[in-house]
Amino acid sequence: RHLRSVLSLEDFERRARRKLPLAIFGYVSGGVERNASLNANRAALDAISFTPRVLRDVSVRSQALNLLGHSYKLPFAIAPMGFSALAAYDGDVALARAATRMGSFAICSAASLTPLERVATEGQSGWFQCYIPGDQSRIAPLLERLLKAGFDTLVVTGDVPVAANRENNARNGFDAPFRVTPQLIWQGITHPRWTIGTLGREMWSRGMPHFANMEAVRGPPLFSRDLVRSTIARDRLGWPDIDYIRARWPGKLLVKGILHPDDAIRARNAGCDGVILSNHGGRQLDGAISGMQALPAVRAAVPDMAVIVDGGIRRGTDVLKALVMGADFTLVGRPFLYAAATDGVAGICHAMKLLAEEVDRDMALLGVNSIDQLRAERPVSG
């Protein structure tokens, strides 16, 4: 009922801003340093415009797509987001469950606070993103754990060799390792709906939050300096590690955070099934181009590989712009976490439904019945 007033993904951001303490909202919404890449994500999408066709029969529209041997009802899925359970009660499970229900998928983040086994069984989504140390003896046990849990698609994120310079987190009182500051306590007191309904409920159900999936068995607690060490361990991660994983991972394998066409070619040569073009939502290297800017060159470099794009996608028109420019699929991050934070599974489903309705309406307005037709006709400029 109360979701009837939520008309777009942007509305969920406004709702989340009211409910979440600034430390948490700022962590989700924030970019890095001067927000150059965060802004580039929107600018690249806004720079494209459509030339629609009219008076065509568009009564048999479908936005269904095939990706890596699966057929999905929606052309977008939920990007991996760490710490989801701090923003939304049981966030990782909620995201996966809602996505599966809507005919799509959510990628469980390595930096999630929920054991991956629970996300696999209760979410049924099949996709896991890993942050792995550049240490092969620690990679193999994680792969075994993922397989046993039932994941079939692995995304290795390559754009976090070190933690980014997220000054906004430090200013708002969200820091890793997590520290309880007077600022944070005040935010907790002034946001009781989150403190009791999200954090309190989470701790009541599952105890002290910790990284449940960073290492093979149990990751470091949120409050420990091991957290920093586990990030530093990634600065040795390299393509030989991708080759190592490929030799041991029987499922689909993708690399996320690719922006250079030569890296996409390297991923293909390593036997990867796809790449995710992304500047991490403008949260890693400030000034990195957006996934959309990288798309034409990467598409040309690896014509037969699955290419997924994310960053700033908020509207049906954005999804269609990515697909028409050559992406096979799209990911959306922040809006779905806002929806999870304010309205749980029902909220995420509502957000996915809104975006799907926009895609469907926009296809009709463009004069196409299918994504294949859209790609063949390329009714875009920019």
Stretch that binds ligand FNR, among 18-26, 58-66, 77-85, 247-255 (CB under 6 A): 77-85
The answer to whether 281 and 31 have CB atoms below 8 angstroms apart is yes
Token digits for 179? Answer: 């520290």
Q: Which stretch binds ligand FNR (CB under 6 A): 170-178, 201-209, 220-228, 309-317?
A: 309-317
CA angle 156, 162, 165 (to 5 degrees): 120
For ligand FNR, the binding residues in 37-76 under the rule CB under 6 A are: 41
Q: Is 26 in the site for ligand FNR (CB under 6 A)?
A: no
Stretch touching ligand FNR by CB under 6 A, among 7-15, 273-281, 292-300, 362-370: 273-281
Residue 319 C-alpha from the chain's centroid: 14
Residue with the two structure tokens 């991660």: 237
Q: Establish if 310 lies at the interface with ligand FNR (CB under 6 A).
A: yes
Asked if residue 81 binds ligand FNR (CB under 6 A), the reply is yes
76, containing H or E segment: strand 76-78
Three-class secondary structure of residue 347 per DSSP? helix
> What's phi and psi for 343, nearest 5 deg?
-140, 15
Give the up-direction half-sphere exposure of residue 126: CA atoms within 13 A in the CB hemisphere.
Answer: 15
**CB-wise, 187 or 330, nearer to ligand FNR?**
330
Considering beta carbons, is residue 187 or 367 the nearer one to ligand FNR?
187
107 assigned ligand-binding residue: no
d(C-alpha 347, C-alpha 251), whole Å: 31
Sheet holding 252-258, edge to edge: 76-78, 329-332, 306-310, 274-277, 252-258, 153-157, 127-130, 107-108
280 labeled part of a ligand binding site: yes
Active site residue 280: yes
Q: Which residue is nearest to ligand FNR (CB)?
A: 333
Q: Give residues with Cβ within 8 angstroms of 222, minimum separation 6.
A: 113, 176, 177, 178, 208, 209, 210, 211
Residue with tokens 């600065």: 235
Using CB under 6 A, which residues numbered 90 to 129 contact ligand FNR? 109, 111, 129
Rounded to a whole number of angstroms, the minimum distance from the CB of residue 288 to ligand FNR is: 12
Q: Is 358 in the site for ligand FNR (CB under 6 A)?
A: no
82 sits near ligand FNR (criterion: CB under 6 A):
yes
Binding site for ligand FNR (CB under 6 A): 28, 41, 79-82, 109, 111, 129, 157, 256, 278, 280-281, 283, 310-313, 332-334
Q: Which residues are catalytic?
A: 280
Which amino acids are annotated as binding site, given as ranges? 27, 80-82, 109, 129, 131, 157, 166, 256, 278, 280, 283, 310-314, 333-334
Which amino acids are annotated as binding site for FMN, given as ranges? 80-82, 109, 129, 157, 256, 278, 310-314, 333-334
